[in-house]
Amino acid sequence: MKRTITTLADGRELLYFDIDDTSDTSVDRRPDSRMLPPVSTSSQLRLDPLLDEWVMMAAHRQDRTFQPPEENCPLCPSGPGRQTEIPSAGYTVAIFENRFPSLSTGADPAPVGSGHPLVPVRPGYGRCEVVCFTSDHHARFADLTTEQAALVMDAWADRTEQLSTLDDIEQVFCFESRGAEIGVTLGHPHGQIYAYPFVTPRTRRMREVARAYRERTGGDLHADVVAAERAAASRLLAETAHWVAFVPAAARWPVEVHVYPLRRARSIPELTPAERADFAAVYLDLLRRFDRLYDAPLPYIAAWHQGPVTDDEDLGYLHLQVFSVRRTADKLKYLAGSESGMGAFITDALPEDVARRLREV
């Protein structure tokens, strides 16, 4: 993998990732000549005193680009008379700092207070990056070759490792949201990376449960879940030399799959080259099954659960959660009263049936 670092007109960092030293030799990559306003530094964090969870507040994101026509896509390569976020005639994988970030390393160190004695306020410090999987506007991640998908995996590993070294960063989250039904505002195939200055609520809760399980049984909760799914086999979708994919027995979403490495790792950078290459093949097969489930591409979120930057208790187990809100060909799963109000999910299909349908396609 070759990584090339440059900056955009407003000082944001842009990184190109190429498969090798020769793959970008014919590409015209120029400096960004646009006139851009400074990136907002107004993001802040406020603590919800009832849940003990940090809430990110970034009012400037109301003005972010929203579903532009293809000719105005900011993630496509630049061309004659058309300047985008990527000042290059082409690219394999490109990653840049978000122009409308929820978190920023330049966040105002003295944000406006809440006036509430139980709601402390902190600067919205962190970093948000956009990951462009391909220069092809009409492609899907599922359309990538295994070599291209492995390059994305290497880029995730690179960014996780680099962002984890930033001061006060506690967790790095790599993810993809696809489909307008999910709320995606740009149609170009892309994902994002958040570097949080706190451990996210879901990760914190999983760690609490894993810690209690270890104290009670002496075992590793994630490893035991994987072992049980492999033994049951009824929800398995794939198993290779390095990975296993299955519909979890207590799935919350209409379509949900978890993908675990068989060798326990805490984060993407810890994976070996063989494990990364093997994941690319498993993941592409999974996404292609998703898109054959109905007559249209399935909207989904793919979320990498990595351990926090500091994991002294050794509780983290890397895994990918891929899920969709589409429950039938023409119906979406909305988070209604029980889910939105109480966080208590109601599912419309048994996990075993979902696994069977995915195996059949």
What is the structure's pLDDT at 26? 58
What are 97's strand-pairing partners?
A: 129
Parallel, antiparallel or unpaired: strands 300-305 and 319-324: antiparallel
What is the structure's pLDDT at 248? 98
Angle between helices 201-217 and 221-232 in degrees, nearest 10: 80
Per-position DSSP letters for 149-205, written without gaps between them: HHHHHHHHHHHHHHHTTSTT--EEEEEEEESGGGT-S--SSEEEEEEESS--HHHHH
What is the structure's pLDDT at 23? 63
Domains of the chain: 2-198 (3.30.428.10), 202-360 (3.30.428.10)
The residue with tokens 């492609």 is 139
Q: How many other C-beta atoms can be found within 10 angstroms of the C-beta atom of residue 135?
A: 20
pLDDT in tens, the chain (361 residues): 999 999 999 999 999 999 987 766 557 788 999 999 999 999 999 999 999 999 999 999 999 999 999 999 999 999 998 999 999 999 999 999 999 999 999 999 999 999 999 999 999 999 999 999 999 999 999 999 999 999 999 999 999 999 999 999 999 999 999 999 999 999 999 999 999 999 999 999 999 999 999 999 999 999 999 999 999 999 999 999 999 999 999 999 999 999 999 999 999 999 999 999 999 999 999 999 999 999 889 999 999 999 999 999 999 999 999 999 999 999 999 999 999 999 999 999 999 999 999 999 9
Per-position DSSP letters for 337-360, written without gaps between them: IIIIII-----SS-HHHHHHHHHH
Percentages helix, strand, coil for the chain (3-state, rounded to 5) are 30, 25, 50
Tokens of 351: 């996990």
What is the structure's pLDDT at 85? 98
* Residues designated as active site: 190
d(CA 248, CA 225): 9
What is the structure's pLDDT at 27? 72
Burial 183-205 (b: 16+ CB within 10 A, else e): ebebbbbbbbbbbbbbbbeebee
d(CA 314, CA 197): 20
- Element (DSSP H or E) covering residue 255: strand 255-261
Helix (H) and strand (E) counts in the chain: 5, 16
What is the structure's pLDDT at 20? 85
d(CA 280, CA 152): 9
Parallel, antiparallel or unpaired: strands 53-57 and 93-97: unpaired
